[in-house]
């Protein structure tokens, strides 16, 4: 071989090997101790090498800030991370490269986490192939980024506690929360009537109109539901199922409207007050009370057909335009402190979710 050509090919090979092993600069929101997020989270630069045999390198496109994420950082959540930890549990990401033994994912695909605790508040990450699920690139970033927690919580609560039929009714407090918005949309798709209870506020008429546009049959304030006779007068059938994310008097009030043998499912406690049931409701109406935690359900049903079918149905509804992301605001990664502080201040009152935009 001519020496010049040999040297050119050798240098090209070395350059290819160099670029193949070249690390990726990544920015992540990390914390090394529990505390208030605005105080303990730092924007840190690291480097990632190429994915191993069964790993995937992804570029995160968007990642929401959920109450559970905040509680985890504060040390108030049952899931305890290993420090230093990257915040976040949800995201939508694009596959950049794959390990040589990866068989189900390809570059360019959009993916979402199939498990919790991966640490998604980052610009890039390397995850195991089995921890990711592909989603259609046609699905909006906000819908995909928020798919695995709130819509799934709403879906499972509607499916797993009472066998509902078209025309049945459910009632929920915190109806403007992300889960509440998902409940209304699923009920509309399945021809189930849904009554939402919200706290009074200056823009209550606008909020009611928006929730009804999602699918709510009726929206009442906490004061209005106490005086309402809609169920007694049979304007709507008594709810067979109730969802509680507030606790305290709000939970007691919606349980009062349940039908005989009705079920209340508690999935949150924004008021930090206990759920109190009347003795009469327990004895004479035989009402049942359950709790629900999506993280537990996902772990217990990791590879189940139920879980696969749930994601398939939710994605189909999104692509058909029958399910949209909750009211949200996209925030550049650099402004993460503003987003975290705002997420803490809202406490579910405005029903607004903040999503970190990793592309800006």
Task: For residue 351, name the pLDDT band (cuts at 50, 70, 90).
Answer: low
Does residue 265 contact residue 241 with C-beta atoms inside 8 Å? yes
Domains of the chain are: 3-146+325-357 (3.90.180.10), 150-295 (3.40.50.720)
Contacts of 315 (CB under 8 A, 6+ apart): 135, 136, 139, 147
Contacts of 284 (CB under 8 A, 6+ apart): none
Active-site residue set: 77
Kindly report the CA angle at 168 between 185 and 173, in degrees rounded to 5?
A: 55
Percentage of the chain exceeding pLDDT 70 = 92
Identify any residues that bridge with 113 across adjacent strands, giving them in sequence order.
Answer: 132
For residue 346, the model assigns a pLDDT of: 53
Q: pTM of the full predicted structure? A: 0.90
* Dihedral sign computed on CA atoms, order 323, 328, 334, 340: negative
Mean pLDDT value across the chain: 91
pLDDT at 284 over 80: yes
Judged on CB neighbours under 10 Å (0-12, 13-18, 19+), 88 is: buried
Percentage of the chain exceeding pLDDT 90 = 84
């Amino acid at each position: 071989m001519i020496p010049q050509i040999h040297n050119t090919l050798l240098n090209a090979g070395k350059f290819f090997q160099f670029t193949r092993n070249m690390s990726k600069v990544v920015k992540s929101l990390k914390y090394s101790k529990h505390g208030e997020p605005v105080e303990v989270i730092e924007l840190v630069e690291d480097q990632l090498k190429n994915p191993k045999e069964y790993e995937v390198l992804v570029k995160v496109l968007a990642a929401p800030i959920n109450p559970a994420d905040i509680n985890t950082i504060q040390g108030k959540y049952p899931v305890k991370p290993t420090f230093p930890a990257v915040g976040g549990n949800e995201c939508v990401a694009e596959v950049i490269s794959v390990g040589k033994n990866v068989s189900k994912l390809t570059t360019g695909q959009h993916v979402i986490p199939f498990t919790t605790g991966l640490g998604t508040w980052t610009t890039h990450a390397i995850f195991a192939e089995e921890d990711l699920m592909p989603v259609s690139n046609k699905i909006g970033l906000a819908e995909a980024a928020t798919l695995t927690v709130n819509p799934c919580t709403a879906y499972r609560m509607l499916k797993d506690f009472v066998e509902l039929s078209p025309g049945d009714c459910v009632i929920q407090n915190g109806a403007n929360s992300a889960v509440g918005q998902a409940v209304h949309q699923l009920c509309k798709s399945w021809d189930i009537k849904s009554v939402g209870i919200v706290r009074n506020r200056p823009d209550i008429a606008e909020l009611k109109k928006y929730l009804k546009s999602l699918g709510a049959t009726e929206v009442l304030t906490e004061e209005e539901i106490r005086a309402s006779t809609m169920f007694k007068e049979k304007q709507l059938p008594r709810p067979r199922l109730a969802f509680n994310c507030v606790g305290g008097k709000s939970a007691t009030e919606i349980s009062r409207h349940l039908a005989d043998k009705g079920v209340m499912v508690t999935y949150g406690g924004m008021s930090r007050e206990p759920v109190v049931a009347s003795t009469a409701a327990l004895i004479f109406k035989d009402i049942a009370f359950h709790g629900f935690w999506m993280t537990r359900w996902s772990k217990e049903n990791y590879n189940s057909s139920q879980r696969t079918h749930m994601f398939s149905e939710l994605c189909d509804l999104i692509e058909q335009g029958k399910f949209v992301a909750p009211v949200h605001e996209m925030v550049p990664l650099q402004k993460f402190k503003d987003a975290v502080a705002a997420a803490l201040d809202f406490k579910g009152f405005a029903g607004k979710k903040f999503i970190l935009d990793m592309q800006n």
